[in-house]
């Protein structure tokens, strides 16, 4: 079954918002964000990987639902603080594989716990801030992902402390008097239940190693990676099954450490992907040989996922005159000066077609499931200002990021 849009993002609503704010436009649905947060309540801590969508108002909304946050840059830490997250406790954790100078200063200033993906981070942090709270992100030697680019475990990956170096990392923690909070793994984006039992068991082995080396710890993190059904609604991940696999690992860890262990999860995509659409207007329709091109006013500078990974996003065409149109195969593409600026493409760049109602200039194109790695991966390529973002909450809607202007861009240079 193809996927319906969130109830609040109905065609009339989207058409009105596009008329009010212009296109391209990101539209988020608060109800979906809340519903996804609530569905993960069995985990002790749900920590949002804000790289998926770092708008301060989305962060505020998730914080109100009890969701904590993972930040991967100084900018993300400052965004979290701007959204009301309190640094110094466990509300914000900084995860990375290196510490640049400015970020090191910021984590020390705000006492943000650091999830270290390299031993150098431990030395640098230890020298600057003895006693600082740390997590260890471990690369268990295997991983998975919807694309090789999102597979973060194994020898090809720059992420995490290689499992064989865990002993050296624990020694660095001791050397600097750092405080170990917990162990973390994030081995990729995309769920594979068969794999998960293996990941859980690897985690238990690492906990054992830490305890045997004389450390105590209070938490384990399952990382992110929960998938969402981009193509078919029946592909939805079974959160209870996912929880039970990790809960088993947690209980074994508790047996080893001799006290309660908090189980964290760190989703990005799962919390936000389905909450938003990207709206674009059809501005030109043309043919090239047998191919029919529908050109819209959003490009890969807005939504990079199809160009970067060949990702599939469902699309709905809303004819401006409300008429029923015959279905036609078409290539959906954007305004950028590159042949790769195509929303319908395969991972290798092959241009694909999509069956949509015959498009005309002025129609609205709705690109679904755009809430994760959409606005947050946008760029100013071709000197295109960042698009506006709107949050719909029941009958209300408000602008949560104004559209950038060319003057904003030029201000950095002139
Ligand atoms: N935790 C860590 C340490 C991560 O690196 C990531 C994602 C997550 C959690 C959240 O993963 P998620 O639950 O969203 O799968 N731009 C790509 C995804 C890159 C993911 C990077 N790290 C995409 O558009 O699919």
Closest approach atom of ligand 1 to CA 189: 15
The C-alpha atoms of residue 93 and residue 48 are separated, in whole angstroms, by: 10
Q: For residue range 194-212, what is the model confidence (pLDDT) as tens digits? A: 777 889 999 999 999 999 9
Q: Please state, in angstroms and rounded to a whole number, the distance separating the CA atoms of residues 320 and 335.
A: 20
In order of their start, the domains of the chain are 41-266 (3.20.20.10), 274-411 (2.40.37.10)
326 confidence band (pLDDT: 50, 70, 90)? very high
Predicted confidence (pLDDT) at residue 261 exceeds the cutoff of 70: yes
Query: Closest residue (by CA) to atom 9 of ligand 1?
Result: 224
Query: Which runs of E-coded beta strand occur in 268-413?
Result: 276-288, 291-296, 315-318, 327-333, 354-357, 364-367, 388-393, 396-401
149 confidence band (pLDDT: 50, 70, 90): confident
Angle ∠(267,195,98) on CA atoms, nearest 5: 50
The pLDDT tens digits for 207-248 are 999 999 999 999 999 999 999 999 988 778 899 999 999 999
Distance 413 CA to ligand 1 centre (A): 32
pTM of the model: 0.97
Alpha-carbon gap, residue 289 to 135, rounded angstroms:
56
pLDDT surpassing 60 at residue 324: yes
Residue 277 pLDDT: 98
- Residue 59 is classified by DSSP as H
Q: How far is the centre of ligand 1, averaged over its atoms, from the C-alpha of 33 (Å)?
A: 17
Task: Give the residues surrounding ligand 1 with Cβ less than 6 Å away.
Answer: 49, 52, 70, 95, 150, 186, 189, 223-226, 266-270, 305, 372-373
Position 191 scores a pLDDT of 65
Can you tell me the mean pLDDT for 287-299? 97
Q: What is the pLDDT of residue 381?
A: 98
């Amino acid at each position: 079954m193809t996927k319906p849009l969130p109830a609040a993002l109905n065609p009339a609503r989207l058409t009105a918002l596009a008329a009010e704010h212009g296109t391209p436009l990101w539209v988020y649905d608060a109800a979906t964000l809340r519903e996804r947060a609530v569905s993960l309540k069995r985990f002790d801590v749900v920590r949002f990987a804000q790289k998926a969508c770092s708008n301060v108002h989305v962060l505020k909304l998730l914080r109100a639902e009890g969701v904590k946050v993972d930040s991967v840059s100084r900018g993300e830490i400052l965004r979290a603080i701007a959204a009301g997250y309190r640094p110094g406790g466990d509300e914000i954790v900084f995860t990375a594989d290196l510490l640049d100078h400015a970020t090191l200063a910021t984590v020390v200033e705000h006492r943000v716990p650091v999830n270290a993906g390299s031993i150098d981070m431990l030395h640098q942090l230890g020298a600057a801030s003895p006693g600082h709270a740390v997590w260890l992100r471990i690369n268990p030697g295997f991983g998975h992902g919807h694309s090789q680019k999102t597979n973060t475990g194994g020898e090809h990956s720059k992420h995490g402390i290689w499992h064989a170096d865990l002993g050296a990392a624990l020694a660095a923690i001791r050397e600097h008097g750092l405080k170990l909070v917990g162990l973390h793994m994030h081995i990729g984006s995309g769920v594979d239940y068969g794999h998960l039992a293996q990941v859980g068991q690897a985690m238990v082995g690492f906990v054992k190693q830490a305890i045997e080396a004389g450390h105590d710890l209070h938490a384990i993190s399952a990382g992110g990676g929960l998938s969402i059904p981009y193509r078919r609604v029946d592909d939805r991940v079974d959160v209870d099954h996912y929880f039970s696999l990790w809960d088993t690992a947690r209980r074994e860890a508790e047996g080893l450490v001799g006290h309660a262990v908090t189980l964290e999860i760190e989703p990005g995509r799962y919390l936000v992907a389905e909450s938003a659409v990207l709206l674009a207007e059809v501005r030109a329709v043309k043919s090239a040989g047998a191919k029919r091109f529908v050109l819209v006013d959003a490009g890969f500078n807005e939504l990079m996922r199809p160009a970067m990974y060949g990702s599939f996003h469902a699309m709905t065409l809303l004819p401006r005159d409300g008429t029923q149109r015959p279905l036609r195969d078409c290539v959906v593409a954007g305004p950028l000066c590159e042949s790769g600026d195509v929303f319908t493409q395969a991972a290798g760049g092959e241009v694909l077609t999509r069956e949509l109602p015959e498009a005309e200039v002025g129609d609205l194109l709705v690109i679904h499931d755009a809430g994760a790695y959409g606005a947050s991966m946008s760029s100013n390529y071709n000197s295109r200002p960042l698009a506006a973002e709107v949050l719909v909450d029941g009958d209300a809607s408000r602008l949560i990021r104004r559209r950038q202007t060319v003057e904003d861009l030029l201000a950095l240079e002139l």
